Amino acid sequence: MWPCVVSSFSRRLVASLGVCGRRKCCGTAAFMPEAPAFEGVRSRSELRDFSVSDSERFWAAVGNQRLSWISPFHTVQDCDLTQGRIKWFEGGKLNVSVNCLDRHVHTSPDRVALIWERDEQGSEVKYTYRELLEMTCRLGNVLRRRGVKRGDCVTIYMPTCPLAVAAMLACARIGAAHNVVFAGFSADALAERIRDAESNTVITVNQGVRGGKFTELKKTVDEAVQSCPSVQQVLVAMRTDTPVVMTARDVAMEEDVVCEPAVMNSEDVLFLLYTSGSTGKPKGIVHTQAGYLLYAALTHRYVFSYHDGDVFGCVADIGWITGHSYTVYGPLANGGTTVLFESTPIYPDPGRYWNTVERLKINQFYGAPTAIRLLLKYGDHWVTKYDRSTLKTLGSVGEPINTEAWEWYHRVVGDGRCPVVDTWWQTETGGICIAPRPSEPDAEIVPGMAMRPFFGIKPVLMDTEGKVLTSNNTSGALCMAQPWPGMARTIRNNHQRFIETYYQPYPGYFFTGDGAYRSAQGYYQITGRLDDVINVSGHRIGTAEIEDNQCSAVAESAVIGFSHDIKGEGVYAFVVLKKNIDIKEDDLSRQLNKMVSKKIAKYACPDLANRLPKTRSGKIMRRVLRKVVERDLDGLGDLSTLDDPTLDVMILEQTGSHHKSLSDSINPLV
């Protein structure tokens, strides 16, 4: 390929001479085959500008080129951000599983689609496109035979494994939506999601295996479905040899290798994925077929510079959006080879990721800052003992990556030769929106910054009055001024909440809920949530969700996030005990953790719990809370209005002992 960098002088020269600028044209065409049809586009940055200024033509060309349609679309987009109306590729009919499987089976049936990196190190299993298609069809037929119809929603409660991917694609094949629930969620949280999705079918496994530990997933499903009258059947696959009790509702997985794909409209629902908001119950974010798939595929191809034959290693669980878009849909739509990572970064030892990179010859590695921060502490030798020469791109997602972690990832893991792409996006955006790449191949990458908007993405920063901030070197609320195909369409059962959350705060714009800084050079850096959402190890949790669940000793609580050196943010709970309750701090912490694990999941458990400082008139002393968390002894100010005189001693102790408690509470959840 021709080198793509030319100076602005030579670009001007080419333009003024009116010649095609062959070096540039050819480079851009090789970079993106659709580009030659876009007038005036001769470089990657011009391509990006075109994707925003003429977004309809850009997405029409890309949509036609990169998806297989049963019938073509007639309208590229029908979006109105003031109304929260998002529609892409209407009139088009397609099947997502055909796009992810059949079309690759036609051209290269024996190409590896999945490499299942099982929890047991060194026991990976490969599945070709043909095998994955067969598995998907078998499962699709089982679902159809058992009455699952187009438009139904199937809940999948499984660890990251080939059958889980086949289950997602089987739903897509027969036109059912899927609702993957992270297998770390508790029975109560699972039940809440099943009920809201109105699923009549759940797919699970007998047991999960992670970090050498077994989890009783089928038992959790048994408990959850007690309060889910909609559930008629539970399909149970065997991950281990341990038999489980089967009830009349349960069906052992069986197998019929042709499954006719349903003809789906572009805007039919592909899946729901629940995520936390600042208030109320988790939101079932709805993604639809064509736009989501196209966006996942395009971002996977260009942000990571994924090429045919590469092995893509995204280590996220399929229970999160990253697992959906970059373990399953993006790589498979591109006919890629994708790794399903079932284990943890430190099992059996802290070299697990890099052992996997060496063994599976991973070319793009995509992980979370929380894991990088954790591994950094174990030392370089766990990395350097493995061959990482296959690595070409390193990705980071889920939370801001601090400079120290970024540098270590770049210098030690990538030997200083792989671009590190800090990718900003969220469940609602469907795919990556801001990342250092694609850009000119040698364009600078600033550590810890997501930097550049992707094709078709137009970020804006808003001030507190809701006005667009036009200058650089400024911070504001991050919004998107233009729709793109991957964006969420609604919240299941609550379109009003969708509008209120994302479209009313800044009319005419999609509001991300995040704050961002735009540097003097125009690069974006995400500064964190602007709402009451905590990001624990890259997983979102609403403070209200934790506060809503009271344990027997507690009358009232307030939960805040605090800076945690491994998890990014930890959960700090302040509680008011019920009258006449006398309980030791350790016991209180234990009770709170038990309750939160039961109601939500282990990752949401408070790292620290303390009694809530209130004034005698009953007001929460927030300034004290802030100072406690910031460990600012001098800033505590006047504590004489505290209702409980013993609290001031405790608060003072807390500010001093904070650091120790943090390192004691390291509990990586990635």
Binding footprint of ligand AMP, residue count (CB under 6 A):
20
The least CB distance from residue 433 to ligand AMP, in Å, is 9
The least CB distance from residue 488 to ligand AMP, in Å, is 10
- Verify binding: residue 275, ligand AMP, rule CB under 6 A: yes
Q: Which stretch binds ligand AMP (CB under 6 A): 40-48, 122-130, 378-386, 506-514?
A: 506-514
Which of 38, 58, 185, 424 binds ligand AMP (CB under 6 A)? It is: 424
The least CB distance from residue 299 to ligand AMP, in Å, is 13
Give the pairing type, strands 269-275 and 283-288. antiparallel
Which of 439, 535, 610, 655 binds ligand AMP (CB under 6 A)? It is: 535
Q: Which is nearer to ligand AMP, 98 or 189 (CB)?
A: 189
554: its two tokens: 């507690």
The least CB distance from residue 305 to ligand AMP, in Å, is 18
- Verify binding: residue 423, ligand AMP, rule CB under 6 A: yes
Q: Which is nearer to ligand AMP, 423 or 655 (CB)?
A: 423
- Distance, in Å, from the CA atom of 228 to the CA atom of 193, rounded to the nearest integer, reads 10
Which of 93, 193, 540, 599 binds ligand AMP (CB under 6 A)? It is: 540
The least CB distance from residue 593 to ligand AMP, in Å, is 22
Please enumerate in sequence order all residues whose Cβ is within 8 A of that of 213, keeping only pairs 6 or more positions apart, or say none: none
The least CB distance from residue 283 to ligand AMP, in Å, is 10
- Verify binding: residue 31, ligand AMP, rule CB under 6 A: no
**Comparing C-alpha atoms, which of 218, 227, 174 is closest to residue 196?**
227
- Distance, in Å, from the CA atom of 355 to the CA atom of 338, rounded to the nearest integer, reads 16
- Distance, in Å, from the CA atom of 282 to the CA atom of 76, rounded to the nearest integer, reads 31
- Verify binding: residue 405, ligand AMP, rule CB under 6 A: no
The least CB distance from residue 425 to ligand AMP, in Å, is 6
Q: Which residues within the stretch 439-458 sit at the binding site for ligand AMP (CB under 6 A)?
A: 450
Give the pairing type, strands 112-117 and 269-275. unpaired
Q: Which residues within the stretch 309-338 sit at the binding site for ligand AMP (CB under 6 A)?
A: 321
111 burial class (0-12, 13-18, 19+ CB within 10 angstroms)? middle
- Verify binding: residue 427, ligand AMP, rule CB under 6 A: yes
Q: What does residue 492 show for φ and ψ, rounded to 5 degrees? A: -50, 130
Q: Which is nearer to ligand AMP, 323 or 351 (CB)?
A: 323
Q: Which residues within the stretch 343-402 sit at the binding site for ligand AMP (CB under 6 A)?
A: 397-400
Distances (CA, A) of 514 to 57, 299, 368, 459, 573: 29, 21, 18, 12, 23
The least CB distance from residue 306 to ligand AMP, in Å, is 18
Is residue 624 within 8 Å of residue 651, measured between CB atoms? yes
- Distance, in Å, from the CA atom of 131 to the CA atom of 337, rounded to the nearest integer, reads 13
Q: Which is nearer to ligand AMP, 334 or 427 (CB)?
A: 427
- Distance, in Å, from the CA atom of 223 to the CA atom of 492, rounded to the nearest integer, reads 24
Residue with tokens 């994925």: 273
Give me the helices (H) in 442-517, please: 495-498
Return the percent helix, strand and coil in the chain, to nearest 5.
35, 25, 40
The least CB distance from residue 533 to ligand AMP, in Å, is 7
Q: Which stretch binds ligand AMP (CB under 6 A): 134-142, 331-339, 509-517, 553-561?
A: 509-517
Which residues would be at the binding site for ligand AMP (CB under 6 A)? 275, 321, 397-400, 422-427, 450, 512-514, 526, 529, 535, 540
